[in-house]
Amino acid sequence: MPLGKKQQSKEYKARPNDVIYTPKLVAMKMIEMSNITPNMKVLDPSKGGGVFYDNLPECKKDWCEIVEGKDFFQYNEKVDLIIGNPPYSIWDKWIEHTIKITDKFCYIMGVFNFTDMRVRNIINAGFGLTALHLLKIDWWFSPSYLVIFERGKQSIISVEEKRVVCAKCNKR
């Protein structure tokens, strides 16, 4: 649903493909993967229909939703976990804000959003990829990954820091 002018964030202009409601089965898998405990403060950064927020186990929970006047980019409290399905058109900006306010996040990333550069930037910010689950939602554009990144944790994938060049000519 398009946002009205007063509901637009300075940081975000809605695009039709950004409003993708997550199936409950997927949200429940992400919640399970996240190992949420009652003492954790958990943020659903783009609540939408509430499939994450409404199904969180006992914890200190909060939410943002731009169309309800709670802009994620204005949220600056520290949280233990951020879990959700962010708008794909602003992934880099979204991740940048995410890593400012949490040490652990669980997001859905389409295979075209789970890029070398994006993963490299998250890892270089001190996070390790600690869980990854591949799934295909039939009506979505591409397969997706459910990912958990945690600050200071060993990553289950490694990233080559140097560009690999031709051994014969030392060029790309």
pLDDT tens-digit profile of 107-160?
999 888 888 889 999 999 999 999 999 998 776 667 889 999 999 999 998 877
If you average pLDDT over residues 50-65, what whole number do you get? 97
Strand partners, 134: 145
Strand partners, 169: none
Q: In a 3-state reduction of DSSP, which class is residue 92?
A: helix
20 band by pLDDT with thresholds 50, 70 and 90: low
Return the higher-pLDDT residue of 169 and 115.
Answer: 115
Beta sheet of 60-63, edge-to-edge order: 60-63, 41-44, 81-84, 104-110, 144-151, 127-135
Q: How many CA atoms lie within 13 A of 112 on its CB side?
A: 5
Q: pTM for this structure?
A: 0.84
pLDDT tens-digit profile of 64-119?
998 899 999 999 999 999 999 988 889 899 999 999 999 999 999 988 888 888 99
